[in-house]
Amino acid sequence: MKLWPFVFLLFLVPLSPAKADDLGCVSTTFNLLSPNDKVCVSDFEDPKVSGVACHISQARKGGWGQPFGLNEDPSNFSVACRQVGPISVEVTKLPDREEAFSEKTSIFFKATRIYRLIDKKHNTLVYLAVSSKIINGSPANSISTVPIMPWAAQ
């Protein structure tokens, strides 16, 4: 019973230091009396690897639960990551797998998570987006790779 306060605090603390900025949304359905379903695009920068930016598109369920954050969004998403500046981090010092981003997609227990994996053989960062749910996870996933290249000053 003494673990419950600790478990409760886990849900109040952000799961990842990366924060996404919404770029915009496109409506995918029309609901006459409630907010429409939509696909939204957000961007975030890898908190441990400066010079990498990612964009994620996610389906968001409309209806009256949407303004209050009560909907469970579907596990439909895509991720694209690119080198946008010099990368100075040593790949060998990064963990083989680390969560770079997390965003809740329902009021309870579901999130879209993006993990950074390291392909040392090809000097490439691999970003894997998955949907996680404590009880019944989803096989939905998306992948993007960022080969680490020299960056010319402009």
Both tokens of residue 138?
A: 């989803």
pLDDT over 60 (residue 11): no
Averaged pLDDT, 40-55: 93
Handedness of CA 59, 61, 62, 68 (dihedral sign): negative
In a domain, 112, yes or no: yes
In a domain, 21, yes or no: yes
Nearest-angstrom CA–CA distance, 128 and 141: 7
Residue 98 has a pLDDT of 95
What stretches of the chain adopt beta strand conformation (E)? Answer: 21-27, 38-45, 52-60, 77-83, 97-104, 110-119, 124-133, 141-147
Residue 35 has a pLDDT of 76
In a domain, 121, yes or no: yes
Residue 5 CB burial class (10 angstroms; 0-12, 13-18, ≥19): exposed
Q: Look at 18-22, 79-83, 113-117 and tell me which has the smallest mean pLDDT.
A: 18-22
The pLDDT tens digits of the residues spanning 87-118 come to 988 888 899 999 998 877 666 667 788 999 99
Q: What's the whole-number average pLDDT of the chain? A: 79
Residue 63 has a pLDDT of 66
Which is more confident, 145 or 132?
145
Residue 49 CB burial class (10 angstroms; 0-12, 13-18, ≥19): buried
In a domain, 5, yes or no: no
Averaged pLDDT, 65-74: 61
In a domain, 4, yes or no: no
What is residue 7's three-state secondary structure? helix
Residue 153 has a pLDDT of 66
The domain of 65 spans 17-147
Averaged pLDDT, 115-130: 94
**29 within 8 A of 17, measured Cβ to Cβ:** no
In a domain, 7, yes or no: no
pLDDT over 80 (residue 4): no
Q: The tokens 């303004």 sit on which residue?
A: 67
In a domain, 96, yes or no: yes
Q: Count how many domains the chain has.
A: 1
**86 within 8 A of 42, measured Cβ to Cβ:** no
